Structure 1
Amino acid sequence: MSPSLCLVGAGPRALGVLDRLSAHASNDPARRVEVHVVDPHPPGAGRIWRADQHPLLWMNSRAADVTVLPDASSVLTAPVRTGPTLHAWLDAHREELAAEFAAAGEDDLHREVLGVREGTFVSRALGSRYLSWAWRRVLDGLPPNVVVHPHRTRVVDLGEEGGVQVVRLEDGGTLRVDAVVLAQGHPDVVPGPRERAAREFADRHGLGYVAPGYTSDLGLVEDERTLPPGADVVVAGMGLAFVDLTVLVGQGRGGRFTEEAHGLVYHPSGREPVLHVGSRRGVPYRSKITYVLDERPPLPRFFSPGEFETSPRPLNLRADLWPAIAKELAGAHYHELFRAHPDRTSMDAGEFERRFAPAAWGSRELDDLVGAAVPDPRDRLDLRHLDRPLAGWRGADAREVHDRVRAHVADDVARRGDPAHSPDAAVFSALLSCYVTVAGLAHRGLLDEASRLEVDGWWHGFFSYVASGPPPQRLRELLALADAGVVRFLGGDLRVRPDEVGRCWTARSANSPEEVCARVLVDARLPTPSLAESADPLLAALARRGEVAEVGDGRIVVDPDQRIVAADGSVHPSRFAVGPWVAGGGWAAAFARPGLDAGFFRLNDRIAATLLEPAPRVSVVGPRSASSAPSRETAPAD
């Protein structure tokens, strides 16, 4: 048997799968494997990480924390060919890259590559070079029996003839293969009812509306008609899309920052709009931590997969898993506090651990123990306050709300860069551990239906907010923009509505008695997944025919082997899907952190091994009943 395969997409996930296909195929050199890779965008980087983005936009991880190739910690089932981290690669190729950029007149990249260090957040344009190199590295390392055919076009439909998968391409070509892997990353969607209503209102009154999308693709620098200089703009959302927005309409339009004795100062160009911004939390994602723990907390202690894999019923994420997750986070926090800052405790560390271990999360016993052992409330882990720092608070006016949010951001930046608060870094490590465990339980089908939604909902949102926020420099810039009057903070539980009488968008938060009226609204978020409304022609076609199923939040349903589940519950033996639009994985990461035996590589390894096995018979995924309704009393709110 000589299998032929098709990877739909050529971004980092497809790169990882191709690398592991190469490794598994090398075990059987007499067996020829043909792989078709279809993507109109550059291989390795794909659309999201392509090089032709605005040079001011950064990757959201330190250069030393990004790898797309396995390392010595990776435990995989076929030979491992290790590769460098982004920083190690840049360091090894610094001179030749600098010379290349200088010769091409790419001055921004030339300056950047000379200054990259382990803790640098590099531009997406520079990160794209690493991904392109990694793709070539994989191709150069293919065994003789693996042949890759690139196709710079899109897949528009997928059919089947006698068990053969018929892949129809936008350029008119057709591929006939044994198996297909959908790895398109973040497809666009056509506007849904909410977006269409907003657009209709805006058009009727001559207002502006920016629907959810990828900020780098919205043309907000070049086209100032969308966000006119000086215009009041309501921005709904304070995540990473909002951070990119501030970069593009600030520095991107000619503004500049200078370091002064009292801090960072923004000097407007006069082309900036005024951004009135709020969200559910009312604060931006927590800053990246900029130091490294000298000793990682013992993990896992209270939340390991072995404790849950034998459950006789489907598990509920909030009711069953959250107490153990919270205990894991708290255990890491207090372990680090007692280890590194014993002067801020009032109990022997051994005694604290002896009493902490059996105490149930949320119990009076645990609360009394922490109160007795940790005198300063600021040294105690308060997950509710961490998640919703503005909950229950109301300012006297809009200025007080703005000042409160500004003070929160300034405190967060200072705290996350100060090893005196190293328990925060321990919680970060524990949250990574818990995230991997939850994803593993979801992949093995051990969660109930409600929880499969929440893995990609509040759980991923909480993880991103705490552990995957922006670089601290971006938040320092946000503070400077606020001081310059370019950004004004509205608060949390933001409500935006169209005002037919006032012919504007109005915005009000739960923290302020005042209302803002603006002529432009920006939905600063990624598009909500929807197969039925996907702008990807392949996904839309499969959805129309019921050949894919989606959970309530619009993500593709797969079985534990990543095989696609149809609307009737049948599992297709030769169609697979992986990535952020796949349910249950918590928005699969595009990269891995080195040295952690990353699940990114183990998942790629499993898919590759499955692709090279003989296809099993079609099976059916039976219905799963939710155990109990999720309780918002036992976990962070959305």
Structure 2
Amino acid sequence: MSLTLLVVGAGPRTLGVLDRLSAHASASGAEVDVHVVDPHPAGAGRIWRADQHPLLWMNSRAADVTVLPDASSRLEGPVRTGPTLYAWLDAHRAELAQEFARAGQDALRREVLAVQEGTFVSRALGSRYLSWAWDRVVAGLPAGVRLTVHRTRVLDVRDALHGAGRQHVALEDGTTLDVDAVVLAQGHPDVVPGPREVAAREFADRHGLGYVAPGYTSDLGLTEDEVTLPPGRDVLVAGMGLAFVDLLVLLTQGRGGRFEETPDGPVYHPSGREPVLHVGSRRGVPYRSKITYQLTERPVLPRFLTEEALPSHSRLNLRRDVWPLVAKELAGAHYAELFRSHPERTALDAAEFDRRFAVAGWGSPDLDALVAQAVPAVQDRFDLHRLDRPLDGFRAPTGSAVHDRVRAHVADDVARRGDPGFSMDAAVFHALLSGYVTVAGLAHAGRLDDASVAEVDGWWHGLFSYVASGPPPRRLAELLALADAGVVRFLGGDVRFAPDEVGGCWTARSANSPDTVSATVLVDARLPQASVTASADPLLRHLTGRGELRELAGGKLVVDPEQRLVHADGTVHPRRFAVGPWVAGGGWAAAFARPGLDAGFFRLNDRVARAVLQLGTVSVVGPRAASSAPSRRTTGVR
């Protein structure tokens, strides 16, 4: 009853799997040697490492982040709960402040002293929580679990020539291992440039232009790079998501600009080192900002997106079979909250509205007529298309008019997302979160067809991120100040960024504007598109080359419902597992969990840990058992 396990990657997902493996091993007495391989620090990994610019923030409130189970977590075996990010920072505030002071890290010292439940902390400070959580999990490993951390990369994994099921592992530092199981949890592997990026680079080089390809903003060194992004130069920016927000911070405050607080909001004072950023995207607006208040009563979910409401056929199509139920779930939560908290803005008895709404089909004339009768004010009605595409159909006479329209949209969004008078938005957030988990569960269970699984990671994830996973409202208030200071100009939506061979420049033209904007620099402000076949990760390249991975449309790798790798020929490898954002149907891919919601993050970690232990013929425990006291462990670092 012994097992040797390789885990590729040392970020939050590995932390979670190790925690659940520890819990089951402590109850069963399993003997497990665990090898974790990652060149970046254990616990935080690459994306959440501490050595990032202190201006880069996490994208969730401190009280909404946890990597350890809580009382709501329904898991098999012992459950050892842990604090949220905020609870941990609050409990260790004084000692952390002293530590930062001794290290000369005054920005972190000030930050930890001021942090509150609703604070969006820096990634550098959040990294400390992840490191602490890793150390806590390691300290709780039972005597039979031995951990070795290798600060290098995995080059390849092959089926061993001798030994049933054994996996032969080659590390970049020359170490070789033979293991019984492998869990891939690399997080966000880099990809090699695709045809679009190669063509853009070649065009830029021919004409002496600047081009910044998609990448992780914190890794691009743009704060000090005044050659690629010169001060005062016009720069086209493709993308208005979270990568854009990071870019904005590094090129403004990161270059010495500052915000002055006024009763009307922040005012930006340039340093003179900023470029002029002309920004646009498909939607033409940034992600919706985070909501800054809490509902007094959460909607009952799910109500419409239930197993009973889904068609009975086994392979569902996301748009045809699932999306109408998702949309009705969102609208139902919106109107339930409107009638509950703002009845003075309705014109029909709440019970009658609810009865008629429940039987009306999504998008039907009956539903439209009901809403028109019951909700007099247009701004109180749920308009999913307008929520998703606020500039659709808008055409302005000038680019300046487009800029003004987008600025007004951002200002309205910031005000509305902080106003409990529109608490319907918070209800929609909870419904969208519930729907996201449900859709991810359908993908995970193999209920969706292949095209739909690709769309889970495409337009559905994009919509979710846009509505529910946007930046802190402070960042959008700063965006408004930057627009007023002339540092940012809004291009609008459905922007076509293109090379101009004749003019020797980059151009951008929006569907909302008649103007064409030219510049000598183009920034692709987005993360690299996931692509297993184009991965820069040597392990993924080798597995792909031998047909030992299957890539779905959209570039992500395919796993079965047990998270086991599916080969190109459709067979399943019984000893290789994968988790993370580059796995198809990645609704389970979040790096953290939201506390109090029995998060799928922990249930998935639990299933993977149990499946791994079963490979060693170790009997795992059944229903939840009492927590066992931490015991001795052995760790090592190569």
Q: Is structure 2 residue 455 aligned with structure 1 residue 454?
A: yes
Conservation of the 8 A alpha-carbon contact between 2:6 and 2:36: yes
Secondary structure of 2:572's aligned partner: strand
Amino acid at match of 1:477: E
What are the Cα deviations for residues 194-237 of structure 1, in whole angstroms up to 9, with x where unaligned? 10000000000000000000001000012211111011110000
Structure 2 residue matching 1:394: 3-state secondary structure: coil
Whether 1:202 and 2:204 are equivalent positions in the alignment is: yes
* Deviations 1:491-523 (CA, angstroms, capped at 9, x unpaired): 000101100011000000100000000000000
- Give the match for residue 621 of structure 1: none
Determine the C-alpha separation between the residues in 1 that align with 2:263 and 2:349. 43
Match of residue 67 from structure 1: 66
Q: How many angstroms apart in 1 are the aligned matches of 2:437 and 2:552?
A: 21
Q: Deviations over 1:596-634 (max 9, x none)?
A: 000000000011111111379xxxxxxxxxxxxxxxxxx
After TM superposition, list the pairs within 5 Å mapping 1:365-444 onto structure 2. Answer: 365-444=366-445
- CA displacement 1:151-208 (0-9 Å, x = unmatched): 1110011111132111110000011100000000001111111100000000000000
Q: Percent identity among equivalent residues?
A: 75
**Do 1:39 and 1:152's aligned partners in 2 also have CA atoms closer than 8 Å?**
yes
Bigger drift between 530-539 and 9-18 goes to 530-539
1:264 aligned residue (263, 266, 278)? 266
Of 529-538 and 164-173, deviating more is 529-538
More displaced stretch, 546-555 vs 127-136: 546-555
The alpha-carbon deviation at position 260 of structure 1 amounts to 1.9
Instruction: Indicate yes or no: 2:25 matched with 1:40.
Output: no
For the residues of structure 1 that align with 2:257 and 2:571, how far apart are their CA atoms? 55
Paired with 2:266 and 2:91, the residues of 1 have a C-alpha distance of 33
Give 1:586 shift: 3.3
CA distance in 2, matches of 1:376, 1:347: 13
Specify whether residues 598 and 278 from structure 1 end up closer, same or farther in structure 2 by C-alpha distance, changes over 3 A only: same
CA contact (8 A) 2:69 2:80 kept: yes
Once residues 415 and 110 of structure 2 are traced to their aligned partners in structure 1, the CA distance between those partners, rounded to angstroms, is 28
Could you say which residue in structure 2 is the equivalent of 1:632? none
Shift of 1:78: 1.3
* Distance in 2 (alpha carbons) for counterparts of 1:438 and 1:205: 46
Aligned to 2:113: 114
Aligned residue type for 2:272: G
Asked if the contact 2:499/2:505 (under 8 Å) is kept, the reply is: yes
Residues 226-251 of structure 1: CA deviation (Å, up to 9, x unaligned):
11101111000000000000000000
Partner deviation per Cα, 1:82-131 (whole Å, 9 max, x = no partner): 00000000000000000100011100000000000000000000000000
Q: CA deviation at 1:588?
A: 1.1
Q: Does the aligned pair in 2 maintain the 1:456–1:587 contact within 8 Å?
A: no
Instruction: Provide the residue aligned with 1:160 in structure 2.
Output: 159
Between stretches 254-263 and 469-478, larger displacement belongs to: 254-263
Q: Which residue of the other structure, out of 288, 291, 295, is the alignment partner of 1:289?
A: 291
One-letter code aligned to 1:22: S
Unaligned runs of 5+ in 2: 618-638
Partners of 2:35 and 2:193 lie apart in 1 by 31
Partner Cα separation in structure 2 for residue 261 and residue 330 of structure 1: 35
Contact 2:7 / 2:36 at 8 angstroms: preserved in 1? yes
Superposed CA offset, 1:252-289 (max 9, x none)? 00000001233210000000001000000000000000
Q: Deviations over 1:459-516 (max 9, x none)?
A: 0000000000000000000000000011000000010110001100000010000000
Deviations along 1:369-423, one digit per CA (max 9) or x if unpaired, are 1110000011000000000000011011000000000000000000000000000
- For the Cα contact (< 8 Å) 2:588–2:604, is it kept in 1? no
Segments ≥4 residues shifted beyond 4 Å: none
CA–CA distance in structure 2, aligned partners of residues 581 and 196 of structure 1: 22
Q: Which structure 2 residues correspond to residues 435-584 of structure 1 after superposition, within 5 A?
A: 435-584=436-585
Task: Give the TM-score normalised by the residue count of structure 1.
Answer: 0.95
Where 1:357 maps in the other structure, the secondary structure is helix
SS of 1:3's partner is strand
Q: Which has the higher contact order (CA 8 A, sep 6+)?
A: 2
Tell me the alpha carbon deviations over residues 18-42 of structure 1, each in whole angstroms, 9 at most, x when there is no partner: 000011111211x311111001100
Q: Secondary structure at the match of 1:361?
A: coil
Shift of 1:585: 2.1
Residue pair 1:573, 1:615 contacting (<8 A) in 2 also: no
Deviation at 1:315, TM superposition (A): 0.3
Specify the code of the residue in structure 2 equivalent to 1:331: G
CA deviations on 1:59-86 (whole Å, 9 max, x unpaired) are 0000000000000000001110000000
The answer to whether structure 1 residue 172 and structure 2 residue 174 are counterparts is yes
1:500 and 1:615 map into 2 onto residues whose CA distance is 61
- Label 1:605 to 1:49 Cα distance change in 2 as closer, same or farther (>3 A): same
Secondary structure class of the residue paired with 1:35:
strand
SS at match of 1:451: helix
Report the Cα distance in structure 2 between the residues aligned to 1:495 and 1:587, rounded to whole angstroms: 33
Cα distance between partner residues in 2 of 1:556 and 1:427: 31
| Equivalent AA in structure 2 for residue 113 of structure 1 | V
The match for 2:222 is 220
Alpha-carbon shift at residue 145 of structure 1 (Å): 1.2
**Per the alignment, in what secondary structure is the counterpart of residue 506 of structure 1?**
strand
* Amino acid of the structure 1 residue aligned with 2:193: P
Which residue pairs with 2:624 in the alignment? none
Does the CA contact (< 8 Å) of 2:440 and 2:588 recur in 1?
A: no
Q: CA deviation at 1:537?
A: 0.7
Equivalent residue for 1:312? Answer: 313
| CA RMSD across the alignment | 1.0
Q: How many matched pairs?
A: 614
The change in CA–CA distance for 1:61 and 1:515 in structure 2 (over 3 A counts) is: same
Give the partner amino acid of 1:9: G
Could you report, residue by residue, the CA deviation over 1:410-453 in whole angstroms, capped at 9, with x for unpaired residues? 00000000000000000000000000000000000000111010
Question: What SS does structure 1 have at the residue aligned with 2:427?
Answer: helix
- Corresponding residue for residue 92 of structure 1: 91
Q: Secondary structure at the match of 2:5?
A: strand
**Distance in 1 separating the partners of 2:548 and 2:309:** 35
Contact 1:305–1:437 (Cα < 8 Å) also in 2: no
Contact 2:346 2:374 in 1 (8 A): yes
1:587 Cα deviation from its structure 2 partner: 6.7
The code of the aligned residue for 2:553 comes to G
- Distance in 2 (alpha carbons) for counterparts of 1:562 and 1:77: 17
3-state SS of 2:587 partner: coil
Separation in 1 of the partners of 2:305 and 2:75? Answer: 23
Does the aligned pair in 2 maintain the 1:57–1:123 contact within 8 Å?
yes
Contact in 2 for aligned 1:460/1:587 (Cα 8 Å): no
Give the counterpart letter for 2:568 in structure 1.
A
* TM value normalised by structure 2: 0.95
TM superposition shift of 1:306: 4.8
Task: Check the 8 A contact 2:180/2:615 in 1, yes or no.
Answer: no
C-alpha spacing 1:472/1:503, structure 2 compared with 1 (3 Å): same
Equivalences for residues 232-251 of structure 1 within 5 A = 232-251=234-253
Once residues 584 and 350 of structure 1 are traced to their aligned partners in structure 2, the CA distance between those partners, rounded to angstroms, is 37
What SS does structure 1 have at the residue aligned with 2:440?
helix
Residue 351 of structure 2 corresponds to residue 350 of structure 1: yes
Tell me if the contact between 2:588 and 2:600 (Cα under 8 Å) persists in the aligned partners. Answer: no
Alpha-carbon distance in 2 for matches of 1:175, 1:414: 56
What is residue 183 of structure 1 aligned with on the other side? 185
The 3 A distance-change label for structure 1 pair 489 and 587 is: farther
The residue number in structure 2 matching 1:361 is 362
Structure 2 match to 1:125: 124
In the alignment, the residues of structure 1 paired with residue 440 and residue 265 of structure 2 have an alpha-carbon distance, to the nearest angstrom, of 41
| 2:17 aligned partner | 17
